[in-house]
Each structure stands twice: as structure tokens, then as C-alpha cells.
Amino acid sequence: MHGSGCLNQHGILSKEEQMLASRGMTTSQHLKTARAAGICYVTSMYASCSLEDIVGTAPGGLRWFQLYVHPNRQLNKQLIQKVESLGFKALVITVDVPKIGNRRHNMANQVDLQKTLLLKDLGLSAKGNSMPYFQMSPIDPSICWDDLSWFQSLTRLPIILKGILTKEDAELAVKHNVHGIIVSNHGGRQLDEVPASIDALSEVVAAVKGKIEVYLDGGIRTGNDVLKALALGAKCVFVGRPILWGLACKGEHGVEEVLNILKNEFHTSMTLTGCRSVAEINRDLIQFSRL
């Protein structure tokens, strides 16, 4: 019931650490751990390792690609066609970043990813040639619901929207025939005081009425958090920061430990709530006043 989220801005790490991050986060530990755990990995457009390196490091893994819509439509088209040809199984379109929010921690720590992050997969030219590196690119602030039909015309991949927090947007997602929604507040880094993902989950699940799948991203720190998300209607959860913490602590083995901790805690929570299978997890387990 887990997936690894998109924490791919490893350009601030050394080359050795980047490749560890690629193995550790590309469905975890050279895919062996991921295959055993059955998890999906979402590769960000802002990954500092090339898509070919990621696929080569984790062949056969279940991978989705997260797109931040670039103002250059040709570049978006080339990236989408590239990930489809490389075997990615879904296109995740980020909809909550028309521009970067006021990230005060970055300001205080003098972190400027637009200047320091070097990317390999945004160097595609109109002729299809690649440059070795390309710095963090602008994001198209004009993207709207009507653009989804253009993306759908480019690919056979299912399209997932990441960053939905309201009933109204969830209903529009269904109307525009996307395949799924990731309920996410972007790690709380975009707009201060927006609801936590877990608080927005019930509203979104109710709005889609079972027509598309709903996933949760953000705030997963324990197996109990996984149980709560599934009880409130999430099909699965994505994990981001804990994966990086494990990676920083023990490299690939740390990632494996984090996944095992979450899995064991989740199984314990199921046992202690009387759930013999995931199918028995339901909304009645949640006392909303204590969320």
C-alpha cells in the first residue's frame, strides 16, 4: 500500500550520493526491495539523474513520471513520449505549482534550486538532441483544465493529477476523464495554512464517488498513518521524506529499513484494530475528533 514519492532534487548531493539516491529511491534498493514490497515509484521531471540511468538502475520496476508543465509544449511532448517509450506506466501532472511558493526555509538556508540544480532530461531540443545538463526550468502558470485534452492526445498512459485538495477540483478531474488523483498539499511547501492532505482526503473521496482512484501524499510517518489514509478512502499512500531520512542515515539499507518499519507498523495497526485484510479497513475505524 506504499509508493515512494517524488523527492528527486538530488543535484545538491555529491555524484556518489546521487546514484545512491537513484538506486535507493527508484522503487528502493535497485528495485529488489521494491519488487518484494510491491511499491510504485514516481520519478520527478526534476530528477538530477537521467531517466535512462534510473530505468537502468531499476529495470522492471513499476514507475510513474511526474511532469511539471513547461511553457515549451514541444518539450512537454518529447518528455512524455520519452517516458512512455522507457516503460513508465502513468503520467502524473502536477497541478498545484503554477509558481513556486514562498519557501522560507529555502530562503533562510540560502538554497536556490533554480541556480544549483542541474537536470539531464530537460536538455531536449526541438530536434530531439540532448545537452548534458539543463538548469531547473520555468513552470507554465497558464495551465488549465482545457489543456488536459492535449496531454491525453499525446499518450496512452493513464493521467493522474497531483495536488488536488477540494471537492470542486475533484469533480472537475472526473469530468475531464483523468484516471486518478493524488491528494497532496506539496509537503506544506506551497501555500501556508492549506489543509493537511489527510484532512482533505474524505472530501475528495466523496466527490469522485468511486469513479477514479484516489491516493494520498504527505504526512505519512507511521504505519498507523497508512491505516488512517486507507480507512478514509485512499487506494494507496506515497512516502517522501522518510525515504530520504533512511537514505541519509544508512543509504540503500536505510530505505529498506524505513519501508519495513512502515509495513510492520501497518500490519500491527491492522491486527490491533481487528482487520484481517486490507478489505476490512473502513471508515468506522476513524474517530474524527482525534485526527
Q: What are phi and psi of 163, to 5 degrees?
A: 120, 20
Of 160, 46, 171, 174, give the one whose Cα is nearest residue 95. 160
Q: Is 2 a catalytic residue?
A: no
Cα–Cα dist 63/86, whole Å: 10
Which pLDDT score, from 0 to 100, does residue 190 have? Answer: 62
User: Which cell numbers hold the place of 278?
Assistant: 486490507
Q: Which residue has the higher pLDDT, 198 or 96?
A: 198
Backbone phi, then psi, for 9, in 5-degree steps?
A: -85, 65
Predicted confidence at residue 102, as pLDDT, reads: 62
pTM over 0.85: no
Q: What is the pLDDT of residues 112-167, one digit of tens each?
A: 655 555 555 555 544 444 433 444 557 888 999 999 999 999 999 999 999 999 99
Quote the pLDDT of residue 280.
96
Q: What's the mean per-residue pLDDT of the chain?
A: 79
Q: Is the pLDDT of residue 208 over 50?
A: yes
3-state class of 10 per DSSP?
Answer: helix
Of 45-59, 219-233, 234-248, 264-278, the range with the lowest mean pLDDT is 45-59
Predicted confidence at residue 6, as pLDDT, reads 46
Q: How far apart are CA 162 and CA 203, in angstroms?
A: 16
What cell was used for 183? 491528494
Q: What is the pLDDT of residues 77-100, one digit of tens each?
A: 999 999 999 999 999 999 987 666
Catalytic residue selected from 105, 179, 186, 253: 186
Residues near 190 by beta carbon (within 8 Å), at least 6 away in sequence: 96, 97, 100, 101
